[in-house]
Amino acid sequence: MQLIDGNRIASDIIAELTATVAALPGRKPCLALVRVGEDPASVSYVKKKETTAATIGVTSRIILPPVTITQAGLEKLIDELNADPAVDGILVQSPLPKHLDELAIFRRVAPRKDVDGFNTINLGKVAQEDDTGFVACTPAGIMELLSRSGVDLKGKHVVVLGRSLIVGKPVALLALQKRAGANGTVTICHSGTHDLPAITRLADVLIAAIGRAEFVTADMVKPGAVVIDVGINRVPDATKKTGYRLTGDVHFPTVAPLCAQITPVPGGVGPMTVAMLMKNTVKARILSAAM
């Protein structure tokens, strides 16, 4: 069993981006980070993105609207950022407060600045294999992890557990693409799937993105499979000072010994998401300079 080290691969990408940004003429790339409310996880994620941006040489603009902001107010803010020529990328941190329509906000971000990859146009470009768009950061990170770990999906059976717009659907489309490193045969499983273990046991590459702690157990995995664990869940643990521990969607102690390669949680997919956000922001700056 070999661990896929997301921290190391993300560090490699950040080093590559730092060199790219240093060589860019004119102003540095600028990323607007919009966070509504004080959700502790969101505060932590935005801080991590800000710190990584600074390392690379990307300018961060942190925008903190009041938690009471209306849908119209947030849409107006997005429109202003869309129109600002000094802003290359816009990220609206999820989740938003319940009174806001998250999907409508994602769609409001101009496709050319949608470095999160959630705009309808950019999701469509993934389906059309059009590289001018932006791929959602976690799916893009998964593909980088596989590529840089020597896993070629050509001819492989890829089973995706979960069908979210953020991970499941886009990563299935990416694995399916007719290009180097992809060309997989893809099955998507979800809550309506019958006899789930029988299908996941067919996977050469299993991507678990279901959002349920330690859901994937040893009886669901074929020996020699590559397992990508996208989940990040808090489970109670009295031995920890925080009172909880982080775990993935895979029961690592029993599944890992079966695998050819597997990502840990934390330290697997998570660091890649931030690295790919930065990669998209640098790409947005380069594309805007070419316009």
Selected catalytic residue, list 49, 125, 156, 279: 49
Our answer to whether residue 116 is catalytic in this structure is yes
Amino acid type, 245: R
Selected catalytic residue, list 5, 88, 114, 116: 116
Residue 164: closest CA among 133, 188, 182, 135: 188
Q: Quick one: residue 117, left, alpha or beta (phi over 0 = left, psi -120 to 50 = alpha)? A: left
What's the 3-state SS for the chain? CEECCHHHHHHHHHHHHHHHHHHCCCCCCEEEEECCCCCHHHHHHHHHHHHHHHHHCCEEEEECCCCCCCHHHHHHHHHHHHHCCCCCEEEECCCCCCCCCHHHHHHHCCHHHCCCCCCHHHHHHHHCCCCCCCCCHHHHHHHHHHHHCCCCCCCCEEEEECCCCCCHHHHHHHHHCCCCCCCCEEEEECCCCCCHHHHHCCCCEEEECCCCCCCECHHHCCCCCEEEECCCEEEECCCCCCCEEEECCECHHHHHHHCCEECCCCCCHHHHHHHHHHHHHHHHHHHHHHC
* Beta carbons of 132 and 112 less than 8 angstroms apart: no
Selected catalytic residue, list 88, 93, 156, 249: 93
Positions marked catalytic: 49, 93, 116
